[in-house]
Amino acid sequence: MPLPTRRTLLASAAALSSQRIPGANDQPRLALIGCGGRGNYLAKQCAAHGRLVAICDVDAARLAKAASLAPGLFTHKDYRRILERNDVDIVINATPDHWHTLINLAAMKAGKDIYSEKPLTLTIEEGRRLTRTAQQTNRILQTGSQQRSDPRFQQAVELVRSKKIGELQSVVVGLPKASWGGPFPAQPVPPELDWDFYQGPAPRRDYTPERTHFRYRHWYDYCSGPLTDWGCHHNDIVLWALGMDRGGPVSVQGISHLDPVPHGYDVHSQFTVQYRFASGLPVTCITMYTDQFGTTPLVVPTNMINGIKFAGSEATIEVQRGKIECTRPELLDEVPPVDSVQAHIRNFFECVRSRNEPVCPPEIGHRTASFGHIGAICLRLGGRKLTWDPVKEQFPGDAEANRHVAREQRKPYSYDSL
């Protein structure tokens, strides 16, 4: 961690003085930004730890529906009106991925702590900036990668790290494929939606409902596809098991098994992407139930689970939500039934009080998202092999790939607005 400069120390002091740090018997006051499926669920899960006082959504219908979450909520479509409120201590950010960073940066600067959904970022550059700002402002941010708080995934990590399965030889990650389809004709914007605000820093496009609510996941304008959707959950565990959750791979190559439809969903929906670490270890991410495999140098078993296979020299572990198996079952301990989302949220609220680092802080959320972004960049460049420098966070000598490290932000929804 770099030594703090006078400027960063002053920023920390200012942020702390503008922020009430809740004591043991205090109920922190919460604001939900992004009232979709995940936001509503998180707000209910957080009710045991804090008091919801404000909600925000750029879709008035969703905002109105979420107003029933608690009595007397302050409601607004503009997150800046939420962040300027002194009665908000904590922000739950459950917006689509392309909005995460701007809102998280603004919330940190306003002195709020944050539970932010994964993938933490849309680009690698965003993650570097967010990590820096978190250090400067001394804010607590928990990334919503709740598998970190799941005993089964924790057990898999422990078995790999302790070498109880021998030397790790390969890792395969199975991911649900993305939707595929289109083209989608432009439609009139529904009156309840502020479409310009929804698009925010992303490029301006004609409205089609397929670009919004849940389905934004299938467009590169708003995300990096399966590699950062489910990918962020499983790859977070892989990087943790490898001791690489503040680092990354040194190369990536990939194959798309199904090309997107012109003017339709444009993320690569079915693919094989193989990363290599400095040790030579291969980590292969593959979409499950892939329709066309063909013969490729990267082909892996087609019966992949939505989860992770760690193959060691002495045993193999398969781990997914609710299930862990090992070819040497005696290595597995009994796992208590634990609600991993609740455990992850509890860890966040404990850290808000103690000011300790939560289990998935900004640097780790950023590195996991970057892992997915690197793979998506590779697919977008035709799958050619890319070399990655995890220290400089650049593709050495590769101007074409480096152009994807950051994205232009559409004004006025840019860093300048902070």
Ligand X SMILES: NC(=O)c1ccc[n+]([C@@H]2O[C@H](COP(=O)([O-])OP(=O)(O)OC[C@H]3O[C@@H](n4cnc5c(N)ncnc54)[C@H](O)[C@@H]3O)[C@@H](O)[C@H]2O)c1
Which residue ranges make up the site for ligand X (CB under 6 A)? 33-39, 56-59, 62, 79, 94-97, 99, 117-118, 144, 146, 197-198, 200, 213-214, 216, 229
Residue given tokens 């509890």 in the structure block: 346
Radius of gyration of the chain (CA): 21
**CB nearer ligand X, residue 234 or residue 257:** 234
Whether a cis peptide bond, with omega within 30° of 0, leads into 191 is: no
What is the DSSP code (8-state) at residue 337? -
What is the DSSP code (8-state) at residue 394? B
Question: Least CB distance from residue 250 to ligand X, whole Å?
Answer: 27
List Cα–Cα distances, 179 to 94, 118, 187, 213, in angstroms: 21, 19, 20, 14
Report the greatest alpha carbon distance in the chain: 61
Question: Least CB distance from residue 205 to ligand X, whole Å?
Answer: 14
Planar angle of CA 155, 149, 320, nearest 5 degrees: 55
Q: Give the relative orientation of helices 97-109 and 124-137 as an angle to the nearest 10 degrees.
A: 20
Question: Least CB distance from residue 61 to ligand X, whole Å?
Answer: 9
Question: Least CB distance from residue 16 to ligand X, whole Å?
Answer: 26
Task: List, as one string, the DSSP characters of 162-198.
Answer: TTTT-SEEEEEEEEPPPP--------PPPTTB-HHHH
List Cα–Cα distances, 301 to 156, 281, 351, in angstroms: 20, 18, 41
Question: Least CB distance from residue 118 to ligand X, whole Å?
Answer: 6
Question: Least CB distance from residue 51 to ligand X, whole Å?
Answer: 20
**CB nearer ligand X, residue 265 or residue 388:** 265
**CB nearer ligand X, residue 97 or residue 126:** 97
Question: Least CB distance from residue 373 to ligand X, whole Å?
Answer: 14
**CB nearer ligand X, residue 21 or residue 64:** 64
Residue nearest to ligand X (CB): 36
| Non-local CB neighbours of 193 within 8 Å, separated by 6+ positions | 58, 59, 60, 61, 207, 212
Q: Are 313 and 169 in contact (CB under 8 A)?
A: yes
List Cα–Cα distances, 78 to 34, 200, 315, in angstroms: 11, 11, 52
Question: Least CB distance from residue 37 to ligand X, whole Å?
Answer: 4
**CB nearer ligand X, residue 198 or residue 277:** 198
**CB nearer ligand X, residue 106 or residue 165:** 106
**CB nearer ligand X, residue 22 or residue 307:** 307
**CB nearer ligand X, residue 281 or residue 288:** 288
